[in-house]
Amino acid sequence: MSKKERKIEYQIDSDFILRKKKSIKKELLKKDNLIEKNVAILGGSTTSEIKNILEIFLLDNGINPNFYESQYNKYYEDALFGNEELDKFNPDIVYIHTSNKNIVAFPELGSSEEEITTLLKNEVKRYKSIWSSLSRFNCAIIQNNFEYTVDRSLGNLDCYDIHGKTHFINQLNNEFSKGAREIKSLYINDINYLSSYIGLKNWFDRSLWYQAKYALSMGSIPELAFNISKIIGAIFGRTKKCLVLDLDNTCWGGVIGDDGLDGIYIGIETAIAESFTSFQKYAKELKQRGITLAVCSKNDFKNAREGFEHPDSVLKFDDFTSFKANWDPKYENIVDIAKEINIGTDALVFIDDNPAERDIVSSQVPSVVVPNVGNDVIHFIDHIDRNGYFEPTSLLADDINRNEYYEGNKKRSEDESTFKSYDEFLVSLSMIAEIKSFSSMYLDRITQLINKTNQFNLTTKRYTAGEIERMSSSNEYIKIYGKLTDKYGDNGLIAATIGRIEDNQCHIDLWLMSCRVLKRDMEFAMLDELVRQCKEKDISEIVGYFYKTAKNNIVSDLYDKFGFRLRSKDNEDTIWNLNISHYTNENKFIRVQND
């Protein structure tokens, strides 16, 4: 079944999903490469159908969940005091499904300002104790904020008088947001937004509440589950990285090759022009927060480029990291774009107003996401936004700068050709690396890198922020990160290695690097530092593991290149070891600063 037939992406068909959930699930379980995750649902109301539908959306995202479901309204008890089943379950994700029905006490009309402040504090305190208790699992916590109540006996005053329910909920939600900014592993599931998007009157169903204690309508459950799945997907690195755009009738109205620069619609002079401008603005916002942009268009390069010289064009030629405008089939160009940017084709989202082009790309390169956007630009933003393709878990300085690295990469590849040898090129880069043990300042970035790196990754082990934090303060691990700067700029933190120490051996549980620094010998610099730290701890042997996945073929021979000896082989998974007593440093091109 295609996405379209399954109706489980924007616009999702709730009735269809609720009725066909069993057959949809059966179909999705046939997918390859599903990863298993333990998801605990702690509910403040009934969660049965939420669990069933969430399972479908997670499967569609490549995640096969095991569930723990708390007894009815036992979210607080389970979180604070646990129980044998939950403790054994050891969740990767805890989802706390609370709603305004769980607010213990709203302000009363006679309450003083002080009393209301106390009410608010007590309510927030309950959740803070939940979040801090749950830190025992080192897992990600997803917490609903609060939706507004449908009834508001104070009318419009409800939102600004301190006795109003709406006012109280707004304050609570602010406190939740603060909490999530402070606690790294806490993510807010914004049902306040979601219920407004769907409409509060559709969101809540009084009859269903009285009958079965569901805090939202049946029809809203798929939207809720879809939203949760976007957060979970982002936590496990399912977020897309690059938006690929067609040009004519996608970035501007009209056909640049026929209509010329003066003939295309862009700007604010007409309604049509404005609709394209809005779309360009949205793409520009994505770019500003680290999403890479590319063009894939059937056009003469010169014409295509000229389109972005239009004075009203929000996007400029330089905004695109890869720009393919030619007459080759688009699926070939798309594959080239992925190669050029150095990401997998499954990190691309392709937007084109032409259904034939969409079909051919999605049939030839099925891993590319090609939403069925129709042919009217007015709907394009919704397809990108509502599907959460680019859902971030946080905004890191590294994300915002990432595009600069990629652009720097382009310049670097241009330079390569003018050197006599590759070594000479590497020397010219004047590379300086910082390779040190994990420090708290970088834990966010390290966690992010670990959970989204697929290609240069020997074991593809994923860790939560809590686990990383624990290892970084433990003596049983060698854990080093690498940052690399060169004459074109700072590449940021791009490598991480974790070695587990056991009986004078160092087992490399994790070895990964961002593909934006491929072929720079950074891996050798990392190995040098790993060996140095091993020697300090009187370790004589390093054991390396390669676990084959669909994406990490690029490192299948890494340990061989490092001079490790093959110890055993199980299908395509291999185990290697290296005696380090006579090890000499391998990196020749990078100046290293270490601990």
User: Contact residues for other proteins (CB under 8 A)?
Assistant: 15, 18-20, 22-23, 26, 46, 48-49, 207-208, 210-212, 214, 218-219
**419: Cβ contacts below 8 Å, ≥ 6 apart:** 425, 428
Cα(first)–Cα(last) distance of the chain, in Å? 54
Q: How far apart are CA 418 and CA 449, in angstroms?
A: 32
- Counted residue by residue, the chain has a size of 595
Q: Give least dist CB 77 to other proteins, A.
A: 21
Q: Quote the CA–CA distance of 276 and 254 in Å, as a whole number.
A: 11
- Of 105 and 212, nearer to other proteins (C-beta) is 212
CB atoms within 10 A of CB 457: 26
**Nearest to residue 90, comparing CAs of 133, 134, 38, 142?**
38
Q: How many C-beta atoms surround the C-beta of residue 336 within 10 A?
A: 16
**Cβ atoms < 10 Å from Cβ of 144:** 24
Least distance in Å: CB of 225 to other proteins? 15
- Closest to other proteins by CB, 13 or 340: 13
Q: Is the peptide bond before 455 cis (omega within 30 degrees of 0)?
A: no
Closest CA to 553 of 460, 462, 455: 455
Task: Give CA–CA dist 291/286, Å, rounded.
Answer: 5
* Cross-strand pairs, 296: 324
Nearest approach, Cβ of 30 to other proteins (angstroms)? 15
Report the residue number, 205 or 346, with the smaller CB distance to other proteins: 205
Q: How far is the CB of 213 from other proteins (least distance, A)?
A: 10
Query: Cα(57)–Cα(63) distance, rounded to whole angstroms?
Result: 9
Q: Which of 17, 508 has the CB closer to other proteins? A: 17
Pick between residue 19 and residue 281 the one whose CB is nearest to other proteins.
19
Q: How far is the CB of 261 from other proteins (least distance, A)?
A: 51
Amino acid (one-letter) located at 220 = S
Q: Closest approach of Cβ 153 to other proteins, in Å?
A: 23
Shortest Å, Cβ 166 to other proteins = 26
Residue 15 vs 573, nearer CB to other proteins: 15
Q: Positive or negative CA dihedral for 12, 17, 18, 19? A: positive
Measured from the CB atom, the residue of 14 and 491 that comes closer to other proteins is: 14
Which of residues 218 and 429 has its CB atom nearest to other proteins in the complex?
A: 218
Strands 477-486 and 431-437: antiparallel
Residue number, 27 or 336, with CB nearest to other proteins: 27
User: Least distance to other proteins from the beta carbon of 39, Å?
Assistant: 19
Q: Closer CB to other proteins, residue 150 or residue 212? A: 212
Amino acid at 233: G
Q: Tell me whether residue 29 or residue 268 sits nearer to other proteins (CB atom).
A: 29
Query: How far apart are CB 150 and other proteins at their closest, in Å?
Result: 16
With beta carbons less than 8 A apart as the criterion, state whether 19 and 73 touch. no
Q: How far is the CB of 46 from other proteins (least distance, A)?
A: 7
Phi-psi region of 302 (alpha: psi -120 to 50; beta: other; left: phi over 0): alpha
**Which residue, 281, 233, 203, 196, is CA-closest to 388?**
233
Closest CA to 503 of 471, 474, 476: 476
Q: How far is the CB of 18 from other proteins (least distance, A)?
A: 6
Task: Look at residue 583 and give its three-state secondary structure.
Answer: coil
Closer by beta carbon to other proteins, 21 or else 284: 21
**Least distance from other proteins to the Cβ atom of residue 103, Å:** 24
Edge-to-edge strand order for the sheet containing 505-513? 565-570, 573-579, 541-546, 505-513, 489-502, 477-486, 431-437, 590-593
Candidates 452, 412, 425, 242; CA nearest to 341 is 242
Cα–Cα distance between 210 and 586 in angstroms, integer? 70
